Structure 1
Amino acid sequence: MKSHSMFKALLSLNLNSLPSPTPKCNPFLHHYSFTFPLKFYTTTSDPKSFTVSYLINNFGFSPESALKASNCVRFKTQKKPDSVLTFFRNHGFSDPDIYSVIKKEPWLLSCDIHKRVLPKFEFLSSKGASRSDIVRAVMVNPRFLKSSLENCIIPAYELVNGFLQSEKKTFASIVGCPSLLYSDSVAFNINYLVDNGVASLNIYRILRLRPFILCASDLKNTVEELKCLGFDPSKSYFADAMLAKRATSELQWRDKVENFKKWGWSDETILEAFKRQPMCMLTSSQKVDKVMRFWINKLGWDSSHLVKAPGIFGYSLEKRIIPRASVINYLLSKGLRKESASFLTPFCMTDESFLEKYVTCFDDEEASQLLKLYQENMDLQDCK
């Protein structure tokens, strides 16, 4: 990862100094036949009326939405919009794709498509994006096609790539969140995170897992809230804490807190669990209830143990927790495991390590019994 100073420099780039891309080859010059003929209309002396008619008949706009769209897009003949349809078809868009894009961004029908859109496709192609990649990005959010290539898209792309250090990963983030290419909040938020000591690795994780978080206008509030809760922005868990907080509404958060409380956790223990494993707050209340019910009612263990390893809520109850608990309970009943031993360690290791430490390490007869018990509980869940 580059140093914070380099990223700060990236954020303050002179946008006009960035060169336009010059791809080695242009795959967008190939042409394809139409999948079905366009609908043609005679010209009319009223451009607005013609536009409304064109949008209704070609794209299924309602009269109201067509009239509204005609305020920002207008043409006297079908030549311009037909050329736009041809362009998108020639670039791998199906007719349903085109209709979806035009309904979101009708201005495309009256723009100079080869000046406004083609250079953006060429830029993305020069970065390794395939034709289908570009179609996916546009389908997710075509709004980025409005943005200036030189002043917005290229600087934004380079900023994201500066953290991800991979064209492939950068484009994956952009396909998942095209808003990265035009949102005014992205550069501000990254700048703010860097100023507050958020590690580059944390920004990397956010860009890979939930890039849309960086487009939020109120991200600063989340950072300040987490700092007040005692989270250190320089630590690796800070990204997970941000992801968890941004993924839940205030109402959902309160509901999750109340759900933990009904199992005996206090505000303090919930905060402790959140600090240890922030993603535990993304576990559904139903899953928490199932784990707690088994842990307390079936095993007779204290729920406070789970505060130390809240990541257990994310494990499969059927495939991990129940089979392993059956082995641990057997060992306790036979005096083969100390009562004071950790209740948590057996659940937090790989399958191989668990079998090695708690099953196959005993003599053949005992090991055979333990393995049978483990597999029976695993098979029992498979049959449900």
Structure 2
Amino acid sequence: MLNRRFTCQIHQLIHHCKPTFFNFFPLRTYRNKSPTGINSETYRKKSPTGINPEVIDYLTLSLGFSSPQALSLCQRTPRLKTLENPRSVVYFLKSLGFSDTQIRCSVNTAPQILNAHIDKTLKPKIKLFQDLGLQDYDLGEFFSKNSALLNSSLERRLIPGVDFLKKLLLSDKDLLLVINRGKRILGKDPEKVLKANSEYLMECGIVGKQLSMLLRRQPRLFLMKLGDLKKLVARAVYMGASVESKMFVYTIQTLYCMSNDTLMGKFQLFYEFGFSKVDCADMFRRMPNVFKTSHEKLKFGLSFFLNTAKLKKTVLVNHPFILMSSMENRVIPRHKVLEILMSKKLLKQQPSFIAVLYLSEDVFLDKFISKFPSYADELLAAYKGHLLESLEEKETESIT
């Protein structure tokens, strides 16, 4: 049971946040324009004082940057004066198995690495990730997307961050996945950001495997300001989620990755099919992930279940999970099989369509197709016909 003090804090946040409750994450759009169509010689002549034209030539001729890009990199790295260190760094990265493209991407994101000391700075930082299992091409691919890590402090950021993430994830194999998804997660002070947020989530009852799952799926959530994270939790409670429910973590995940406009658009879709606000609130509490389903899939699913399968709205409210099922590969084929069996009066009574959807593939085949060998071909055609048609289309396309 969670203590009363924590519950009171949540309700205080709700009280203060109601007026602007769904406007926590304003989006900003940044545009980065660079000149084009200017050759290297022009940039050599117009290079600002302090930029070595030979460095620009090296970046363009050896690393494949355009002249505008090369000049921009030099301006971002004022200490890039000579060619000796950049050449050594590029040679070192190639010796580790980095491709030219991977080196170019790494430099483009973090041009400061061209000035880095190889033995004192690059080697120990790269070794940390080699010890995690990255080698050769995979090592280069990782740093082509995360080269900013090479600018972070090994002792104050990388090692403490890796150690802290290992404790939360319960498995080393997920560590690289989290770092790739949460680009800046190792660039933050683990004591001030990761620890504070994870401890607050644990206060909310999100612990162990659930905390690990949330970190794998939404690592950037752990980089939020603590105040914003508390508002997100308050928003979940305001929408009816209970911090003592096992579904609370999925509510947090859903609300974090969706804007209020998108979420309200999904609710509006349900209203259009005759569901009440209470119905939607019940479904959101039972299965918040349903509202992450695309608008098109939800609309098609609602239409099929209500109009074709003739299910009552209460069935969908009580079993919202079926709206996440594959319509093409699971729902429609099984419905077709049941229609054939009922039309031929091969079943004593019509089975619950919901129960049928929950069956595993093997159990469904055994119970509704293999059991009727005289009609097996027809039933299989109804069940897997869409796959055969898709295969035939691909074969036709390959021939033409």
TM-score bracket for this pair, using the shorter chain length: 0.7 to 0.9
What is the CA distance between 1:332 and its match in structure 2? 6.1
Corresponding position of 1:294: 304
Matched letter for residue 95 of structure 1: D
- Pairing of 1:4-15 with structure 2 (within 5 A): none
Corresponding position of 1:208: 216
Q: Is the 8 A contact 1:137 1:174 kept in 2?
A: no
Structure 1 gaps of 5+ residues are 1-40
Q: Distance between the aligned counterparts of 1:222 and 1:158, measured in 2?
A: 27
Q: How many residues align?
A: 336
Corresponding position of 2:87: 82
Corresponding position of 1:188: 196
Q: Deviations over 1:95-137 (max 9, x none)?
A: 1111111111111112213222211111222233333333232
Q: Distance between the aligned counterparts of 1:247 and 1:193, measured in 2?
A: 17
Matched letter for residue 311 of structure 1: F
* TM-score of the pair, normalised by structure 1: 0.76
Q: Deviations over 1:188-207 (max 9, x none)?
A: 32122123221222111123
Matched letter for residue 215 of structure 2: L
Secondary structure of the residue that 1:179 maps to in structure 2? coil
- 152-161 vs 129-138, greater mean Cα deviation: 129-138
Q: Deviations over 1:342-380 (max 9, x none)?
A: 4422111212233455566xxx6xx34675554232233
Residue 71 and residue 295 in structure 1: after superposition, are their counterparts in 2 closer, same or farther (change >3 A)? closer
Q: Distance between the aligned counterparts of 2:258 and 2:230, measured in 1?
A: 16
Of the three residues 232, 247, 265, the one matched with 1:237 is 247
Q: Is the 8 A contact 1:186 1:214 kept in 2?
A: yes
The CA RMSD measured in Å over matched residues stands at 3.1
Q: Is the 8 A contact 2:178 2:219 kept in 1?
A: yes
Q: Is the 8 A contact 1:92 1:131 kept in 2?
A: yes
Corresponding position of 1:351: 361
What is the CA distance between 1:250 and its match in structure 2? 2.5
1:282 partnered with 2:292: yes
1:308 partnered with 2:318: yes
Q: Percent identity?
A: 25
- 53-62 vs 296-305, greater mean Cα deviation: 53-62
Of the three residues 123, 128, 139, the one matched with 2:128 is 123
* TM-score of the pair, normalised by structure 2: 0.73
Q: Distance between the aligned counterparts of 1:228 and 1:374, measured in 2?
A: 48
What is the CA distance between 1:242 and its match in structure 2? 2.5
1:381 partnered with 2:386: yes
Corresponding position of 1:197: 205
Corresponding position of 1:99: 104
Q: Is the 8 A contact 1:263 1:292 kept in 2?
A: yes
Q: Distance between the aligned counterparts of 2:173 and 2:69, measured in 1?
A: 42
Corresponding position of 1:15: none
Of the three residues 176, 187, 195, the one matched with 1:171 is 176
Q: Distance between the aligned counterparts of 2:279 and 2:374, measured in 1?
A: 38
Residue 252 and residue 312 in structure 1: after superposition, are their counterparts in 2 closer, same or farther (change >3 A)? same
Q: Distance between the aligned counterparts of 1:271 and 1:101, measured in 2?
A: 46
Corresponding position of 1:48: 51
Matched letter for residue 197 of structure 1: G
Of the three residues 249, 271, 286, the one matched with 1:261 is 271
Q: Deviations over 1:166-191 (max 9, x none)?
A: 22222333244342212344333212
What is the CA distance between 1:153 and its match in structure 2? 0.9
Q: Distance between the aligned counterparts of 1:132 and 1:187, measured in 2?
A: 33
What is the CA distance between 1:142 and its match in structure 2? 1.6
